[in-house]
């Protein structure tokens, strides 16, 4: 059981934790789908460390800096999306898209509303049209990144309920749902804007610790970590 949110730690604390875990006889496992190191005992994990995306993990050499690293991020919420392209840690391009997709009185996205009420009213048809254009605009920008740059990783934050609309748009995104270099952004994204894009990129390139209750007891107080910020809940899980 986890004690809560990810906590940022520096490279020295990470090395100390890793050495202590190995000395304690914990099993270290690399999880490529999430780019994490997991430390477990008797098939129960105690620590999970999200590694910087700008570094690759080698079982023989440890962490190595990626050379010529191309990263594209996309974060999608109701009526707003933000994406950016980064090369070796520097932001080269970013874009925010907005759409009239939320019904003012109910606060529901148009896609969720259409599941129960249909699209007979003029306002609903307008919102549906903007919803379709919204995903088309997102994918056109992502295709532009794919055409111009040799993307190493795609990072995405998007509710699974939106995936049929995102991947079913015309044009579709330049990656498949199970593409090897498509990675889920492990951090909560409340409002995808330029500032959030910068913060998420920074966190993806740092060490982030998740510790279980048992791990907390075994490792006592961990010094040198950044206390986690309280995360707001999504206004709407769509």
Q: Give the model confidence (pLDDT) of 64-117 as tens digits.
A: 999 999 999 999 998 899 999 999 999 999 999 998 765 554 445 555 555 555
Q: Domain for residue 185, yes or no? A: yes
Q: Domain for residue 234, yes or no? A: no
Judge if 77 and 180 occupy the same domain.
yes
Judge if 186 and 83 occupy the same domain.
yes
Q: Which domain holds residue 19?
A: 7-52+206-226
Mean pLDDT of each 10-residue bin along the chain, 238 residues long: 74 95 96 96 96 96 96 94 98 93 52 52 52 93 98 96 92 96 95 97 97 89 53 39
Judge if 147 and 215 occupy the same domain.
no
Q: Which of 131, 133, 140, 168 is nearest to 74 (CA)?
A: 140
Domain harbouring 92, CATH code: 3.30.420.40
Task: Look up the pTM and report it.
Answer: 0.82
Tell me which long-range contacts 82-87 makes (C-beta under 8 A, separation of at least 24): 82/192, 82/193, 82/194, 82/196, 82/197, 83/138, 83/141, 83/142, 83/145, 83/197, 84/197, 84/201, 85/145, 85/149, 86/201, 87/149
- Please give the pLDDT value at position 129: 58
- Please give the pLDDT value at position 89: 97
- Please give the pLDDT value at position 192: 97
Q: What is the pLDDT of residues 133-143, one digit of tens each?
A: 999 999 999 99
Judge if 36 and 120 occupy the same domain.
no
- Please give the pLDDT value at position 117: 53
Number of structural domains, the chain?
2
- Please give the pLDDT value at position 66: 97
Q: Domain for residue 82, yes or no? A: yes
Q: Domain for residue 31, yes or no? A: yes
């Amino acid at each position: 059981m986890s004690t809560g949110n990810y906590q940022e730690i520096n490279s020295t604390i990470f090395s100390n934790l890793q050495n202590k875990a190995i000395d304690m006889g914990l099993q270290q496992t690399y999880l490529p789908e999430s780019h994490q190191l997991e430390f477990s005992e008797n098939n129960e994990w105690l620590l999970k460390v999200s590694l910087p995306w700008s570094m690759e993990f080698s079982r023989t050499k440890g962490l190595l800096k990626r050379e010529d690293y191309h990263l594209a991020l996309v974060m999608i919420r109701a009526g707003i999306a933000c994406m950016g392209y980064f090369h070796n840690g520097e932001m080269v391009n970013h874009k925010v898209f907005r759409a009239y997709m939320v019904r003012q009185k109910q606060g529901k996205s148009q896609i969720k509303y259409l599941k129960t009420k249909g699209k007979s009213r003029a306002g609903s048809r307008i919102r549906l049209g903007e919803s379709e254009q919204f995903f088309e605009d997102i994918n056109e920008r992502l295709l532009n990144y794919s055409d111009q740059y040799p993307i190493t990783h795609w990072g995405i934050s998007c509710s699974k309920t939106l995936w049929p609309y995102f991947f079913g748009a015309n044009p579709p995104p330049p990656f498949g749902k199970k593409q090897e270099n498509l990675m889920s952004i492990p951090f909560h994204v409340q409002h995808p804007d330029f500032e959030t894009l910068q913060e998420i990129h920074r966190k993806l390139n740092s060490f982030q610790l998740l510790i279980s209750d048992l791990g907390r007891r075994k490792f006592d107080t961990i010094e040198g970590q950044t206390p986690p910020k309280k995360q707001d809940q999504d206004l709407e899980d769509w």
